[in-house]
């Protein structure tokens, strides 16, 4: 019996995360650069909700992970544990990850998600861009398991 369930669930969660990141990013860009995009506001709000709920879960795991390798991360599947570890490593890698999300953490990101100021929206866009990179790198393992290699 193989553990495809784990790879496919993680693969799909990451696909959904990327879709949410892109929907919200395109909406924010259109607002900032053209001062318009009422058409996508509904979808952008759904993306906010999805990201907010994801970060509520991830934040607990990140806190546990930051306590060190001697402390186990409990009640989470191995792919989510690995994502939390990648997030912690990214926070420590200031050369690659400089956005507010990685400097100030998930709590601050939650505030940015719902802020209406131009500066915060710019900061949110930068955070989303780096989050996209992190998720894309993380999902490589699942994609390989689910889709195989050519």
| Binding footprint of another protein on the chain (CB under 8 A) | 1-6, 8-9, 11-12, 15, 18-19, 21-22, 25-26, 29-30, 33-34, 69-78, 81, 129, 132, 136, 143, 146-148
- For another protein, the closer of residues 65 and 100 by Cβ is 65
Shortest distance (Å) from residue 37 CB to another protein: 10
Shortest distance (Å) from residue 105 CB to another protein: 23
**34-108-47-114 Cα dihedral, nearest 10 degrees:** -60
- For another protein, the closer of residues 76 and 112 by Cβ is 76
Give every CB contact of residue 48 below 8 A, 6+ residues apart in sequence: 24, 113, 114
- What is the Cα–Cα distance from 101 to 21, expressed in whole angstroms? 13
Q: What is the largest CA-CA distance in the chain?
A: 53
- For another protein, the closer of residues 3 and 38 by Cβ is 3
Shortest distance (Å) from residue 15 CB to another protein: 5
Shortest distance (Å) from residue 68 CB to another protein: 9
Q: In the chain, helix, strand, coil percent, each to 5?
A: 80, 0, 20
Residues 51 and 20 sit within 8 Å (Cβ to Cβ):
yes
- For another protein, the closer of residues 19 and 111 by Cβ is 19
- What is the Cα–Cα distance from 130 to 132, expressed in whole angstroms? 5
């Amino acid at each position: 019996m193989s553990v495809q369930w784990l790879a496919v669930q993680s693969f799909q969660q990451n696909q959904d995360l990327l879709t949410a990141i892109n929907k919200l990013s395109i909406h924010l860009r259109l607002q900032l650069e053209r001062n318009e995009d009422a058409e996508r506001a509904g979808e952008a709000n759904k993306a906010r909700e999805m990201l907010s709920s994801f970060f509520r879960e991830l934040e607990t795991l990140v806190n546990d992970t930051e306590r060190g390798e001697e402390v186990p991360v409990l009640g989470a599947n191995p792919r989510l544990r690995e994502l939390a570890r990648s997030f912690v490593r990214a926070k420590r890698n200031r050369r690659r990850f400089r956005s507010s999300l990685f400097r100030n953490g998930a709590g601050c990101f939650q505030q940015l998600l719902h802020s209406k100021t131009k500066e915060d929206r710019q900061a949110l866009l930068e955070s989303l861009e780096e989050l996209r990179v992190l998720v894309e790198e993380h999902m490589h393992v699942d994609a390989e398991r689910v889709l195989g290699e050519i």
